[in-house]
């Protein structure tokens, strides 16, 4: 970027910020803002540049797809996979309705396999093991 078009103070700030971003890219993971496309830290809840909220799906969960899938496949009628991810309320509902007579459990199995199932805090379960 051409610093001659900026006032003196902004050019100095840009250089310092650019230096900081280059020195931290190896330590911190940077992602693009959903609003403006600016590089921001992966744990940022909102973009410091435009203020656009970032999705909570970027947060990491300790739950895994494989155990959730196996629990859903073998014990889905009892909602055990929902207890595993911390969704106790809907786990009890599945237990009482036998997984929505199997339909709810089947839908959950499909959602788990495609990687769109979330834990109790709304974080997507992305890792298999």
Convert the pLDDT of each residue in 4-59 to its tens digit.
554 555 444 444 444 444 444 444 578 888 789 888 887 788 888 898 887 754 56
Report the number of distinct structural domains present in the chain: 2
Nearby residues of 52 by Cβ (< 8 Å), 6 or more positions away:
33, 34, 35, 36, 46
Is the pLDDT score of 104 beyond 90?
A: yes
Q: Are residues 62 and 26 in the same domain?
A: no
Q: Are residues 80 and 128 in the same domain?
A: yes
Task: Say if CB 94 and CB 78 are below 8 A apart.
Answer: yes
Q: Are residues 106 and 123 in the same domain?
A: yes
pLDDT given at position 119: 92
Please compute the mean of the pLDDT values over residues 75-95 and round it to a whole number.
Answer: 95
SS3 for 59? coil
Q: C-alpha angle with apex 123: 113 to 70, nearest 5 degrees?
A: 30
Length of the chain in residues, anyone?
Answer: 129
Is the pLDDT score of 85 beyond 90?
A: yes
Q: Are residues 20 and 61 in the same domain?
A: no
Task: Report CA Rg, the chain.
Answer: 22
Element (H, E) at 31: strand 30-32
Q: Are residues 123 and 78 in the same domain?
A: yes
Q: Are residues 73 and 42 in the same domain?
A: no
Please compute the mean of the pLDDT values over residues 114-120 and round it to a whole number.
Answer: 93
Mean pLDDT of the chain: 80
User: What is the domain range of residue 92?
Assistant: 55-129
User: Phi/psi class of residue 84: alpha, beta or left (left: φ > 0; alpha: ψ in -120 to 50)?
Assistant: alpha
């Amino acid at each position: 970027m051409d610093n001659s078009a900026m006032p003196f103070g902004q050019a100095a700030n840009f250089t310092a910020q650019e230096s900081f971003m280059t020195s931290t890219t190896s330590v911190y993971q940077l992602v693009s803002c959903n609003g403006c496309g600016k590089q921001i830290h992966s744990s940022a809840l909102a973009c410091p540049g435009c203020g656009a909220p970032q999705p909570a799906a970027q947060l990491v969960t300790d739950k895994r797809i494989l155990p959730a899938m196996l629990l859903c496949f073998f014990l889905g009628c009892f909602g055990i996979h929902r207890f595993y991810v911390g969704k106790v309320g809907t786990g009890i509902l599945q237990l009482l309705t036998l997984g929505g007579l199997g339909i709810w459990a089947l839908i959950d199995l499909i959602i788990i396999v495609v990687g769109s199932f979330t834990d109790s805090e709304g974080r997507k379960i992305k890792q298999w093991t």
